Structure 1
Amino acid sequence: MDAWDAWIGRSENRQDHIDPALVRRWLAMLDMEELSDDVVPQGLHWCLCTPETATAGLGPDGHPLRDASPNSFLPPVPLPRRMWASSIVEFLTPLHIGEHLSRRSKIMSIAEKSGGSGSLVFVEVEHLTAGAKGTAIREVQTIVYREAAAPDAPLTPPPLGETAFNPADWTTHHIVSPNEPMLFRYSALTFNSHRIHYDLPYATDVERYRGLVVHGPLTATLMLDLASRQFGNNALSGFAFRGLSPAICGELLHLVMRENDAEIEFGAFADDGRPVMAASATRKI
């Protein structure tokens, strides 16, 4: 029997509602204008039904502690570094301001692997978010746990090189520079206390990042915002993203997009062309 078999199929349920103030803060964080109706932007679901662990129940990295008890939704993987590796999202029904929601999360699979950085454990979680008209969003999220970084490990990602990102192969190109206030606001909106996003000494000295790390779903949210500005609000039926390397706070981030037949392709790149995130989407018919 695998060490984590008891966690496969484990589920938890959370309740929430879409508060108008939350939506206004979301729009402010992204420098977006006021909505013309009550349909909320795609990506805001990552601010809903978030874990509400007491501060005393957080681990050294700011995430909820995991143990072997029946109350621990995620398995007690003995690897300290956690990353949101990827997500596959289906947008089934738009969400509306004031709507009451429920979310059922279930662990689909747990897999141990070895990589260039050592042992890895991948945990795949399905999230079903339901509103007044039934299931509105289905998401399969992959979390990866990694070994601790050596105290003298090189900082990652490496310093920016002398090359420059070339957007010539993309039809839409937008440059942002996620800064400390944006990271703080996104952490607050998602109730995410992972210290790599706000605690610079922890990010550099313990996890050996070159600076504060831009949240993976924040980069994905910026891609969704790019699509919204191009195609209109709630234009996508599906969206999938995969993190490739960390985006660092205060550095330019190139967001690009192009259409290939029925699919939309996205990319996020550092200023020197280093790939940060790849994503794809489908538009509603």
Structure 2
Amino acid sequence: MNAATRIRPQTLRVCRAGSAQSLAARSFTTSTPLRNGAEESKRIAAQAADQLLADHSDRTVVRKQLIDANQLAKLAFTLGRPTVSGVEVTDDTVLPEGTPVPAGYHLVYFTPGGVESQLGPDGTDRTYNAPAPFSNRMWAGGQMKWDLPESDKSGLLVGDIAEEHTRLLSAKPKVSSTTGKPMVLVEVEKQLFSPRGLVLVDRRSWIFRPPTEVSDEKKLPAFQHFNEPSTQEDMTDKAGTVRRFVWSPVALFRFSALTFNGHKIHYNEHWTHTRESHKGLVVHGPLNLINMLNFWQDAHGTALNQSPRSIRYRAVNPIYAGEEYLARTIGKVGGEDGQPIWKLGMVKNGKDCMLADVQ
């Protein structure tokens, strides 16, 4: 199939075998209440996973997107980076057509739409959300691959009309080893096509949990309010270059706006504290992923004169607005094809928050 037949006029369509029922028309509920006990938790999580698979396993959601320069420049401003692919970013200039989209920056394109009434109670897009009572979502990890046989290696470029094809890969019941509460692990795959062919396969995993039930707010962790500007700087230690980050609520709000992400844990202090038991506004998983890729490019890719071919990453612990954390290189191992795999980590007070293998 060539690009001309792949790119169609619709900005959003849902391909499904059998029924043409729209996503918006479907509701995701279960009348089964949560009870105590590991076996009951497993049963409830399994029921929710089965329902999600039944609703979505034969669907592919297709979104069409102009890769515009304005969105790319605003992401660079949010990240505090003065250039994009070697081109200076200012308020009075426009990134020229053909400017390459850096690795990971596609996350501010193909953002979900829908009116507010179609969002989940936590503000998230419900296209692939687990059914109730699993309404609290966290980004768990995933993998991306750019080195594809169908691509001419140029990736996405400013000015492209591109398509994203999304499908549900799996929904699995889980039980938290610490709380005993049921969870649902959901994995989706996104294939991105430019006019030159398939340029990226992006797999993402989310964990869905039931809402936090705290009858006494005094039992919640103390909340960390932070009102200072974001900062980042490069330093050197015995392991080499490390990058120190502190993100502000302003930066988190800007990133939410760029990704059209209504998830309340990133901007609503009352929600993230009382409904999800966080001690601060949560730094986005995708924001940390982009920061990880930027760090690899600056520390290793530039020296090698190459872009990453793949990344496999896992979110381990949350990071909150105002908290200081480091991106660093943990080590390097040889890949099967002779290309090195760089092991990176984001660390807060000696605790791993995100781990990644980049090749």
CA contact (8 A) 1:39 1:96 kept: yes
Residue-by-residue CA offset, 1:180-213 (whole Å, 9 max, x unaligned): 1211111111111100000111111111100000
Residue 163 of structure 1 corresponds to which residue in structure 2? Answer: none
Residue-by-residue CA offset, 1:57-112 (whole Å, 9 max, x unaligned): 22221113x4xxxxx55442421210110111001342111111100000011110
**Does residue 177 of structure 1 match 2:246?**
yes
Structure 2: runs of 5 or more not aligned: 1-46, 88-98, 148-152, 225-235, 334-339
**Does residue 87 of structure 1 match 2:142?**
yes
Paired residue type of 1:253: Y
Please state how far the C-alpha of 1:154 moved relative to its aligned partner.
Answer: 4.3
- Kindly tell me the number of residue pairs found equivalent between the two proteins: 267
CA contact (8 A) 1:10 1:73 kept: no
Paired residue type of 1:53: G
Whole-angstrom CA distance in 2 between matches of 1:184 and 1:18: 22
Whole-angstrom CA distance in 2 between matches of 1:234 and 1:216: 24
Q: Tell me which moved more, 256-265 or 38-47.
A: 256-265
CA contact (8 A) 1:173 1:257 kept: yes
Residue 314 of structure 2 corresponds to which residue in structure 1? Answer: 242
Task: Give the alignment's Cα RMSD to 1 decimal.
Answer: 2.2
Whole-angstrom CA distance in 1 between matches of 2:61 and 2:117: 21
Residue 196 of structure 1 corresponds to which residue in structure 2? Answer: 265
Residue 158 of structure 2 corresponds to which residue in structure 1? Answer: 97
TM-score (norm 2): 0.70
Whole-angstrom CA distance in 1 between matches of 2:134 and 2:297: 37
TM-score (norm 1): 0.87
Residue 45 of structure 1 corresponds to which residue in structure 2? Answer: 106
Q: Compare relative contact order (CA 8 Å, sep 6+) and give the higher one, 1 or 2.
A: 1
Q: Percent identity?
A: 27
CA contact (8 A) 1:255 1:266 kept: yes
CA contact (8 A) 2:325 2:347 kept: yes
Residue-by-residue CA offset, 1:235-285 (whole Å, 9 max, x unaligned): 100011111010010111111124513111111111x21211111110xxx
Whole-angstrom CA distance in 2 between matches of 1:188 and 1:252: 23
Whole-angstrom CA distance in 2 between matches of 1:45 and 1:77: 30
Residue-by-residue CA offset, 1:146-168 (whole Å, 9 max, x unaligned): 1222314543999xxxxxxxx86
CA contact (8 A) 2:71 2:258 kept: yes
In structure 1, the residue corresponding to 2:71 is in which secondary structure?
helix
**Does residue 32 of structure 1 match 2:81?**
yes
CA contact (8 A) 1:79 1:146 kept: yes
Please state how far the C-alpha of 1:169 moved relative to its aligned partner.
Answer: 6.2
Please state how far the C-alpha of 1:144 moved relative to its aligned partner.
Answer: 1.0
Paired residue type of 2:190: H
Whole-angstrom CA distance in 1 between matches of 2:331 and 2:195: 33
